[in-house]
Structure 1
Amino acid sequence: MQSTTSRAQPLKKDSLISTFTQFWENVKAITGPYWYPTEAQGRVFSSVIRAWGMLIILIILIITLVGVTAFNSFVSRYLVDVIIQEKDFDKFVDTVLVYGAALLCVTLLVGFTKFIRKRIALDWYEWLNNHTLEKYFSNRAYYKINFKSDIDNPDQRLSQEIEPITRSALNFSATLLEKTLEMITFLVILWSISQFVAVALVAYTIIGNLIAVYLTQELNKINQEELEFKADYAYALTHVRNHSESIAFFQGEKQESNIIQRRFSNIIKNATRKINWERNKDIFTRGYQAVIQIFPFIVLGPLYIRDEIDFGQVGQASLACNLFATAMAEVINEFGTSGRFSSYVERLSELSDALKAVTKEPENVSTIKTIEENRLAFEHLTLQTPNYEQVIVEDLSLAVQPGEGLLIVGPSGRGKSSLLRAIASLWNAGTGRLVRPPLEQVLFLPQRPYIILGTLREQLLYPQTNRQMSDRELEGILRQVNLQNLLSRVDGFDTEVPWENILSLGEQQRLAFARLLVTHPSFTILDEATSALDLNNEGNLYEQLQSTKTTFISVGHRESLFNYHQWVLELSQDSSWQLLTVEDYRLQKSQLIVNYSPKNSETAINTSPNNQSPIQPDISIEVDTIAELSHKEMQTLTDSTINTIRSKASQGKSITTKDGFTYRYDKDPKVLKWVRA
């Protein structure tokens, strides 16, 4: 609730001063690196000189424009006197020629002034955009900002809110300089005609400015809200486009429409408030100009009637007041739109500060030390979440031998993918050492492949799109991953289409494997990279992966993956782990089920040879030797009630256990057991 006590006013003043101070600091942070570069790696000296040179030319053009406009007022005054009083035709012709030349000069000056102003704004925009993008992509800030910052819509801030800053800054500065010079010039002219008119006009201007500042304060707030509401609305529409298939499966159109309508409603409410305040500002501005237009006639008209001044002076005074009023109206309008400018400045400064913060190494916290060598190993590594609130794995020590495969398994959400993030240096919270090759020698294949905006050739060569490969070589790669029919669906390797819309997830995963065959990395990291493939395609891809002699680490749940790896790293719920050969791991899981007794719910547990961590009962279970299970055993593997198990058996329905395998009930009187589907 807003306070109405006498203490509220000082707080508002302090708040206003603080807001202006922060705004000025933000402006300096944005303009400084361009106009006053101080960093060693800043802009080159020649670019700075060019920018300042264009700015000086702009200032000279503005001063010249104001001077010629003032000169025209005297020519106009003299022309009126020649026509009305002297009635000299020769002087009339000469004066008209001078007046026409001056008007032509004004026209050219206006055109070149606007051109130079836009050119400076464009150069500044280009540099500021590239400068911000450089910070956005450096040290993976674009990734970290999603987890360590509450900045909303960074993409919109980059794409839509940088250009208005440079354009508005140049417009405001140039307009303020030009119109201020015009007001001063015409005040001097008015002073020479009537000191009373000049003084009255100054007093009237001060009052008008105070009212204008009051009217624009609320407009500034409304403009800030407008940016936020439009950004939220645009994000909601983009979200629907990116997740259109999921929404269609859920038939969630009504709910999504309601969400979008709520955000659009905020835009309409904001626009209504803005229209109301702009109405007040427009009425004030027009009334302000009307008073100035009629004022010189009221004051100077009687003087002309008494022959104390000539008609040319009345016309010049009227023109000066009108030009003064026009200049003041434009200044007021610029101050009115400055609220939007300040909003853009604030949001860009927030983004810049956030990018700097997320890339800054945290102080007084432990981080994993990364060593670059031509091998992959964990040495007493303890990995934590970036906020240090949860331990993912503790005291992990292992080394992956060249050409071998390591499979990481464990319960869902246990942090298997987090280990891959640590290898990629995306997460480094924790202790210990990570030994890995340079990231240029490592290829990461996520479950949801990254499909770039580009041609088929660029898809295959990514991330090294400058690599030279013939069409025949690329066709051979597509055949190896069973995508030979892809070329028949597009018009060659240099066709750019919306790949995510025309390729299934399985095809996208095969396309990602094709990149592996193109780049031949020394190390490959696969995060459920074959989850959408059938067993034949999966086997084909892993066999080709093995043939490349690359060292690889996989995360997965499928039992078939054991055929292509030599070692298994199992992560448990309590941050413990165990490292076994594939044969020992399978044998251990078989013993786990064999040792289970329906009468005793305890499970026989083997201890790990490295850190003595117990095997959790709810871990993934891969069994080759056990083919038939009772209702009680199925209950343990699914956590379902015995009645549910019996009901599904009688209905002939299948059941998927916690380890990801599917079982069906064999009703043959000789069997009457659950068997692996």
Structure 2
Amino acid sequence: MQRFNLTRQFFRDVWYLTKSYWQSEEKKKAFFLLGCIIALTLGVVYMLVLLNQWNNSFYSALQNYDAKKIFDELIHFSWLAAIYILLAVYSYYLQQTLILNWRRWLTTRFIDIWLQNKTYYNLQMFGKDTDNPDQRISEDVRQFVEMTLSFGIGILKAFCTFASFVVILYNLSGSLSFTFMGKTWTINGYMLWASLLYSVIGTYITHIVGRKLVKINFIQQKYEADFRFSMIRLRESAESVAFYRGEAQEGSVFKQRFKMLLDNFWKLVNKQKQLVFLNSGYSQIAIIFPFVVAMNRYLTKEVTLGGLMQVASAFGRVQDSLSYFVDMYSSIAQWQAVVMRLTCFGHHMHDVYQQAERFHVERFAAADVVEVNNMQINLPDGKPLLENISFTLHPGHNVLIKGVSGSGKSTLLRAISGIWPFVDGKIFLPERDKLMFIPQRSYLPLGTLRAALNYPGNKPIDDTELIYLMDLCQIGYLKDKLDLEADWSHVLSVGEQQRLAFVRAHIQQPQWLFLDEATSALDEDTEANMYSLLQERLQQTTVVSVGHRSTLNKYHELVLRLNKSTRQVTLEKL
């Protein structure tokens, strides 16, 4: 990350990100498109060779005032230009098609990896080295695909152009003779060597000036994403910020992050300014350079005007192909930063998964009980939270989990559900679709209220039953908004969201229902109503609750007490 350096490791990273698509089920289609793009690119290079030859014929005709030849060559040029345009347009079209297919496949793959095995959750909780996974999946994947294909085709075109024009330039250059130290020296194809020397010097100077661009681009992408994310956070927590009157603090955070963004951007601008200055001078000198070095042969009539123009054109093509690195330096630096971000993201997801694998939880299927044997729950730093805990919960006996703050009540539920990775021991559970976990603040997806009520949408329900359940859970006044799309997490109060979660429980009718302070925002009467409904309508459901209110005692038969000092758990009757 320190500087521009196309090392072997960098190309291994590019291959690591690239190979999956080209070895996937879409590889035949991808290679077909790539083959067509390569063929069209070679066709474009061939047309450049023909246009170079046309330069000689046309300008020679101009020099000789040959009117018929001039008009014939103009018609010839029209055909060459039309074919060139056709090849260039379809080359672009097929490249964009391949980019879209590749981006779609790679984005889907990253999303699948991000979602599988709760990786998104583990990265959020424990992946401190990964920032803004949303940007990496959306923006970085797009840039990687576009740049990788663009540079690959660009390098191919530059190589083919160089191979095609190097012989032409060598043959047209003739020889340069001069006397040095009393000896006559002759350089055959001197314009070719001048072109090589010009390009090498320009490439070296560009590398010296722009090698710090990778680090600056990498940091800029991070600051841009952090600034955008901070504003998203405010939007998601607008009500809380408004209650706290935290506008000044939030504004300070925004401005500080924006200042960091701007400071780094100015570093980027200054470095880009140096490159623009260098590239502009380099390209402008390249226009007259071939005329300067070939002018002597023209003035001595060794070549015609057409020959001079063909030499200049060939020199320009060779110089352009050799200067590809100079022209694309800034973009290549950005490409390297994108590759690093995506590679790090992939490695971090793998590391989080491996970190979780270090802990060994044996999970067994059980017919109807929830049993924990010799379980130890640790904090991310390795310190034990609960040690050597064992208990068995039987159906039909509701359980209330109690303990002081920080004793591990919610973490115990996370361990049982399988989303807390730092766990050792054995767990016996019924099938996953017989379990339902409701957190203190349930997730509400974007979309219609109907979709939010039936989330995750694996159990169909007709509108009559749905409205009836909404009435029972005291949110029936929202029934006319079932098909309204909104960000319901901001539209509904926390209390409404908790009552909505109970509607979900009645829809799913799980065998085991785990409630993590799921009524904390409800008054005692509403809480009592919610628990009474569970007892009346879900008589086959065993409820396991985390809560502090004594009013919950009458809805449970057992209490699971967590002792923070001894890190032990006891199961006893209420």
Q: TM-score, normalised by structure 1?
A: 0.78
Q: In the alignment, what sits opposite 1:526?
A: 515
CA distance in 1, matches of 2:281, 2:263: 28
Question: What does residue range 613-624 of structure 1 map to in structure 2 within 5 Å?
Answer: none
Map of 2:441 onto structure 1: 448
Alignment match, 2:406: 413
AA paired with 1:450?
A: Y
Structure 2, unmatched stretches of 5+, are: 174-188
What does residue 81 of structure 1 align with? 60
Identity of aligned residues (%): 29
| 1:301-312 alignment, distance < 5 Å | 301-312=295-306
Contact 1:368-1:429 within 8 A present in 2 as well: no
1:288 is matched with which residue? 282
Query: Any idea what the Cα deviations from partners look like across 1:456-487, whole Å, max 9, x if unmatched?
Result: 11112111x25432222211111111111012
Deviation of 1:305 (Å): 2.9
Change (3 A) 1:366 1:156: closer
Match for residue 34 of structure 1 among 21, 25, 45: 21
Aligned to 1:603: none
Which segment is superposed worse, 115-124 or 104-113?
A: 115-124
Alignment match, 1:174: 153
Which residue of structure 2 lines up, in the alignment, with residue 335 of structure 1? Answer: 329
Q: Please report how far the alpha carbon of residue 287 of structure 1 lies from its aligned counterpart in structure 2 after TM superposition.
A: 1.6
Aligned to 2:102: 124
The yes-or-no answer on 1:102 pairing with 2:80 is yes
The higher-RCO structure (CA 8 Å, 6+ apart) is 2
SS in structure 1 of the partner of residue 137 of structure 2: helix
Contact 1:176 1:331 in 2 (8 A): no
How big is the shift at 1:415? 0.7
2:125 alignment partner AA: F
For the residues of structure 2 that align with 1:270 and 1:144, how far apart are their CA atoms? 30
Q: Closer, same or farther in 2 for the Cα pair 1:147/1:466, shift >3 Å?
A: closer
Question: Structure 1 residues 273 and 240 mapped into 2: Cα distance closer, same or farther (>3 Å)?
Answer: same
SS in 2 for 1:126: helix
Q: Which amino acid aligns with 1:479?
A: D
- C-alpha deviations, 1:409-440, integer Å up to 9, x for none? 11111111111111101225444422111222
SS where residue 28 of structure 2 aligns? helix
Kept in 1: contact 2:132–2:225 (CA 8 A): yes
Q: CA RMSD in A?
A: 2.2
Residue 250 of structure 1: aligned partner? 244
| 1:203-244 Cα distance to aligned partner (Å, 9 max, x none) | 111111111222221222211121121122122222222222
1:648-672 CA deviation, whole Å, 9 max, x = no partner?
A: xxxxxxxxxxxxxxxxxxxxxxxxx
1:141 maps to 2:119: yes
Q: Secondary structure at the match of 2:567?
A: coil
Cα distance in 2, alignment partners of residues 187 and 366 from structure 1 = 62
Match of 2:492 among 503, 508, 511: 503
- Confirm or deny that 1:559 pairs with 2:546: no
CA distance in structure 2 between the partners assigned to 1:24 and 1:164 by the alignment: 16
CA contact (8 A) 1:403 1:551 kept: yes
| Match in the other structure for 2:256 | 262
Q: Is the contact between residue 409 and residue 555 of structure 1 (CA under 8 Å) also seen in structure 2?
A: yes
Say whether the 8 Å CA contact 2:447–2:485 is kept in structure 1.
Answer: yes
Structure-2 residue corresponding to 1:62: 41
1:92 aligns with 2:70: yes
Q: Does 1:483 align with 2:470?
A: no
Residue pair 2:202, 2:323 contacting (<8 A) in 1 also: no
| TM-aligned CA deviation for residue 197 of structure 1 | 1.7
Deviation of residue 148 (structure 1)? 3.0
Counterpart contact for 2:53–2:310, Cα < 8 Å: yes
SS in 1 for 2:389: strand
Q: What residue is the counterpart of 1:231 in the other structure?
A: 225
**d(CA) in 2 for partners of 1:21, 1:231:** 29
CA distance in 2, matches of 1:17, 1:170: 20
SS in 1 for 2:364: strand
Rate the CA distance shift 1:561–1:351 in 2: closer, same or farther, 3 A. Answer: same
CA shift for structure 1 position 401:
2.2
C-alpha distance in 1, partners of 2:284/2:387?
78
Contact 1:388–1:429 (CA<8 Å) still a contact in 2?
no
For 1:348, the equivalent position in structure 2 comes to 342
Distance 1:431 1:230 in 2: 40
Q: What is the CA distance between 1:404 and its match in structure 2?
A: 2.3
Q: Secondary structure at the match of 1:360?
A: helix
Residues 395 and 196 (structure 1), Cα distance of their counterparts in 2 relative to 1, 3 Å cut? closer
Query: Taking structure 2 as the reference length, what is the TM-score of the superposition?
Result: 0.92
Distance 1:213 1:61, change over 3 A: same
Cα pair distance change 1:391/1:298, threshold 3 Å: closer
* CA pair 286-439 structure 1, distance change in 2 beyond 3 A: same
Q: What CA deviation, in whole Å up to 9, does each residue of 1:173-216 have, x standing for no partner? A: 11122123223433332222212222211111111111122222
| Equivalent AA in structure 1 for residue 415 of structure 2 | A
**Given that residues 4 and 213 in structure 2 are in contact (C-alpha distance below 8 angstroms), is that contact kept between their aligned partners in structure 1?**
no
Which secondary structure does the structure 2 equivalent of 1:246 belong to?
Answer: helix
- CA 1:432–1:174 in 2, change beyond 3 Å: closer, same or farther? closer
Q: Tell me which residue corresponds to 1:375.
A: 368
Instruction: Pick closer, same or farther for the CA change 1:431–1:140 going to 2, 3 Å.
Output: closer
Alignment CA distance shift 1:448-1:82 (3 Å): same
2:230 and 2:272 map into 1 onto residues whose CA distance is 28
Return the match for 2:394 from 391, 401, 412. 401
**Partner of 2:7: helix, strand, or coil?**
helix
CA distance in 1, matches of 2:162, 2:269: 29
Where 1:485 maps in the other structure, the secondary structure is helix
Q: Aligned pairs, how many?
A: 555
Distance between the aligned counterparts of 1:180 and 1:98, measured in 2? 27
| Offset at residue 328 of structure 1 (A) | 5.0
Deviation readout 1:30-55 (Å, 9 max, x if unpaired): 112122x3xxxxx22xx211111111
Task: Note the alpha carbon deviations across 1:564-620, whole angstroms, 9 max, x for none.
Answer: 1111112122223332222xxxxxxxxxxxxxxxxxxxxxxxxxxxxxxxxxxxxxx
* Larger deviation, residues 388-397 vs 132-141: 388-397
Give the whole-Å Cα distance in 2 for the aligned partners of 1:223 and 1:17: 11
Residues 3 and 212, structure 2, Cα contact 8 Å, conserved in 1 = no
Is 2:150 the partner of 1:161? no
**Structure-2 residue corresponding to 1:468:** 460
Give 1:78's aligned amino acid: S
What SS does structure 2 have at the residue aligned with 1:434? strand
Q: 1:141–1:359: 8 Å Cα contact kept in structure 2?
A: yes
Tell me, yes or no, if the aligned pair for 2:44 and 2:88 is still in contact at 8 Å.
Answer: yes
Q: 8 Å contact 1:375–1:400 — kept in the other structure?
A: no
- Tell me, in whole angstroms, the C-alpha distance in 2 between the residues paired with 1:483 and 1:73: 77
Whether contact under 8 Å (2:399, 2:559) holds in the other structure is: yes
- How far does residue 329 in structure 1 lie from its aligned partner after superposition? 5.3
- Partner amino acid, structure 2, of 1:335: Y
Distance 1:167 1:366, change over 3 A: closer
Q: Is the 8 A contact 2:375 2:390 kept in 1?
A: no
Match of 1:626 in 2: none
